[in-house]
Structure 1
Amino acid sequence: MKIAVIGGGSTYTPELLEGIVQRQEVLRVSEVVLEDIDSKRLSSVFGFSKRMLAHLGARFAFRMTMDLEDAIKGATFVVIQIRVGGQEARRRDEERGKRLGIVGQETTGEGGFAKAMRTIPVVLGIASKVKELAEGAWILNFTNPSGIVTEALLRFGGVRTVGLCNVPMDMHMEAGKALGVAPERLELDYFGLNHLGFVRGIKVDGVDVTRDVLALLSSERGPANLPEIEYDRAFISALGMIPSPYLRYYYATEKVLEEQAKSAKTRAMEVMEIERELFAYYDDESNFEKPEALNKRGGAWYSRVAVRVMEGLLSPSGRKEVINTLNKGAINGLPEDAVVEIPAHISAYGVVPEKVGDVPEEVFGLIRQVKAYERLTIEASMTRSYEKALIALVNNPLVRTVEKAKAVLENMIKSGDFVPVA
């Protein structure tokens, strides 16, 4: 079985490869190919990864290429983890948000919009090559904003696709740690959109402990680490659910904007520094173990998520995982072809989303509005329409006003991040 990693020059790649080599027998891996358009990054990551894989006992062919078609041809899985425009484009997005007094974060705010606009045409081009050269392959998409990009792929790419994110897994693992139970004993009732997810139920060994957990979170003695909760305790009690960490951008917007205004460095600038450290480590030929500095980059459980999904899609019996997939009636009130982040049964026979049903009124309005924004963004990216882009941004709850939406677009046009044709 061949695995192609598009964007293989990412500093995350060794994390993914470690997960693959640990399960190489189950996955029956014959070849892994790294592809990237940046020769320097690709060579650095490949050189280090080759040493790491040898140390870990990899028994599959491993190579790099800058030829997209060569990487994709005959692959069973095509992992997409690209960043169109690199960290420099992310820096522009974040600084624009800071100047305009709106959230510039790369998945939820205007930064997410700008990133989607740059990314969607590129990933659809990759999908066309997968369709041509790797019949029956699965695309595993990690590229942010994952929900929007995955929906574009599923609706317009013509290739079997699963969208992945480490947040649901991270919440699951952190909940187990806080409750003092092994993660396999824990079941979370999770639903929502990518970076807009909620846990409305928790079971330990089949016993519902949701009320106990919510009571603990709402009390003064509530643990600080479950799962990265930064919300007002009274609010958690009233909501009756646990929001994912990314909900802070919606529920604590003013605090986020304060932090954004005071910070001397954007997250992109921090990541650039971390990546300089990582590439220096990768380039040192004496190094062959995954660096501790990779933890600063984020993406905990990244490889576990990817490998579990691969295993599920190869197995006739399959398994349940929280993924980004087509709604198909799972969440009432959302379009059939909307991508949602929910549990689904994945197997060699395909993906079957679990029925969620009615979503609580407390959060459905926000979910519906963000989904409208996401779908309008896809349309704007594909048509390059200024009007569609304007309406998409106005529907983003973190932008809202026409004035700010127009200011974002004006800046994107000036920087070349958006070239409208209509």
Structure 2
Amino acid sequence: MKLTILGGGGFRVPLVYGALLTDRGEGRVTEVVLHDLDDSRLYAVARVLAEQAATVPDAPKVTATTDLDEALRGADFIFSAIRVGGLEGRANDERVALAEGVLGQETVGAGGIAYGLRTVPVAVDIAQRVARLAPDAWVINFTNPAGLVTEAMSRHLGDRVIGICDSPVGLGRRIAKVLGANPREAFIDYVGLNHLGWVRGLRVAGRDELPRLLADPDLLGSFEEGKLFGTEWLQSLGAIPNEYLHYYYFNRETVRAYREVERTRGAFLRDQQAQFYDEMKRPDASALTAWDRTRAEREATYMSENRETAGAGERDADDLSGGYEKVALALMRAIARDERTTLILNVRNQGALSVLDADAVIEVPCLVDANGAHPVAVDPLPDHATGLVCAVKGVEREVLAAAENGSRTTAVKAFALHPLVDSVNVARRLVEGYTEVHPGLAYLK
């Protein structure tokens, strides 16, 4: 089976390959094609993968190319993990937003909109090529903003594109752990949009164990989300929010923390990964050692500003191991081998969440089999969550419209309608600032 990875020179690709190396089952991936626009990054990542495979018999063969059409032809699965504008673009997203006093995070608020506006046209082009060159392939979208990009691609690929994220999986695992349950045996009642969802129940053998967690302040405050949001707020919500909702519930404090740091998250990653890729130019350097060292530092500093604002301390060791590659492998196995399973994924709504239309991409538990991912019908959200989900989905639709028609006016509307942008005038200045620093937004007229 052939797997193509778009953004194959990306830093997290070895996580995916490492997961593939553990799969010895029938119908496993035997060929991996890395595609990227940057030859040097492809070379660096290929070196890491070669060291990973050195002691593994029959490891998947790895090739690399800068030719997109060549990479797509004959693919059974396609991972889309692109970053339009690179980490310099992410750093600029943060800088422009923070100068206006609003959040610049890559998937939330102004930064997420800017990232979406320059990514959607590229993702649409990829989807159209896939439809033409590999119509039977399944596209698994890693590219952020994951829900928005998945919805853009779904307009050309239908249900053959599925978005994944490790945040809900990690959240469910942490809740199950503190409750003494096996995560594999628990059903996680999770619903929302990507980076905007809530766990409303965790059922083990038909019994919802979440009320027990919410009733115990000591237990509730013992894991990441309890430390991040505070037990009193979680008890008020009656649910456990995705960690990214910290940007909404504690926005003022988070923006202040981001403005006070020496380097934003994007700038930190830009500089850190530049060092890694420079090191890979030395033929005597151990690629895997350098990658492991860089990854450990990257994971340990994840959402550090939010944790500092909340007084949450350092991340637990169990939360430093990633996880999206495991979701991707489980998804591929379920489809390729008809190994039926339940995963939290980004898929078209199809009536699962009544407040949104059928084509809206949402993040919910899905039953996965050889025919793809099928969203499970979920109970309605409470009013406060419904309002937030509908508002953010409305913004996503404006981003998609702006990307399709190239309208600067529509782009301003997308920014202005976001709950974390507090003024139409700020929205106008954001569009001005972003078009100045991002050549990829020159299409907005």
Kept in 2: contact 1:147–1:163 (CA 8 A): yes
Does residue 273 in structure 1 map to residue 271 in structure 2?
yes
Map 1:5-404; keep pairs closer than 5 Å. Answer: 5-157=5-157, 160-216=160-216, 219=217, 222-227=220-225, 229-279=227-277, 282=280, 284-288=284-288, 291-298=292-299, 300-404=322-426
The one-letter code sitting in structure 2 at the alignment partner of 1:110 is A
The answer (yes or no) to whether the contact 1:278–1:294 under 8 Å persists in 2 is no
For structure 1, which runs of at least 5 residues remain unmatched after alignment?
A: none
**Unaligned stretches of 5+ residues in structure 2:** 300-320
After TM superposition, the structure 1 stretch with the greater mean CA deviation from structure 2, 199-208 or 144-153, is: 199-208
Distance 1:372 1:319, change over 3 A: same
Q: In structure 2, what is the Cα distance between the partners aligned to 1:410 and 1:287?
A: 41
- Is residue 102–residue 420 contact of structure 2 (8 Å, CA) maintained in 1? yes
User: Residue 428 of structure 2 aligns to a residue in which SS?
Assistant: helix
1:413 CA drift (Å):
2.2
- In the TM superposition, structure 1's runs of 4+ consecutive aligned residues that sit over 6 Å from their partners are none
Q: Provide Cα deviations, 1:87-108, integer angstroms capped at 9, x if missing partner.
A: 1111111001111000000001
Letter in 2 for 1:265: R
The aligned amino acid for 1:98 is: L
What is the distance in 1 between the residues matched to 2:162 and 2:219? 39
Q: Following TM superposition, by how much is the alpha carbon of 1:65 offset from its aligned partner in structure 2, in angstroms? A: 0.9
**Matched letter for residue 442 of structure 2:** V
Cα distance between partner residues in 2 of 1:404 and 1:150: 28
Q: Report the alpha carbon displacement of residue 347 of structure 1 after superposing the two structures with TM.
A: 1.3
The 3-state SS of whatever aligns with 1:106 is coil
Q: Equivalents in 1 of 2:156, 2:134: separation in Å?
A: 17
Distance 1:293 1:177 in 2: 28
- The one-letter amino acid paired with 1:342 is V
The CA deviation at 1:205 is 3.8
For 1:185 and 1:319, the matched residues in 2 are separated by 11
CA distance in 2 between counterparts of 1:59 and 1:8 reads 17
Whether contact under 8 Å (2:172, 2:183) holds in the other structure is yes
Identity of aligned residues (%): 33
How far the C-alpha of 1:109 sits from its partner, in A, is 1.5
Evaluate the alpha carbon distance shift between residue 330 and residue 80 of structure 1 in structure 2; reply closer, same or farther with a 3 A threshold: same
Distance 1:222 1:135, change over 3 A: closer
RMSD value, Cα: 1.9
TM-score by length of 2: 0.90
CA contact (8 A) 2:338 2:369 kept: yes
What displacement does 1:188 show?
1.3
Quickly say closer, same or farther: Cα 1:288–1:87, change in 2 above 3 A: closer
* CA gap 1:376/1:301 in 2 versus in 1, 3 angstroms: same
Relative to structure 1, is the Cα distance of residues 67 and 261 closer, same or farther in structure 2, using a 3 angstrom cutoff? same
Which SS does the other structure have where 1:20 is aligned? helix
- More moved, 127-136 vs 286-295: 286-295
Q: C-alpha separation between the residues in 2 aligned to 1:27 and 1:77? A: 12
Code of the residue aligned with 1:419 in structure 2: it is A
- Secondary structure at the counterpart of residue 55 of structure 2: helix
CA–CA distance in structure 2, aligned partners of residues 22 and 161 of structure 1:
24
The Cα shift of 1:24 comes to 4.2
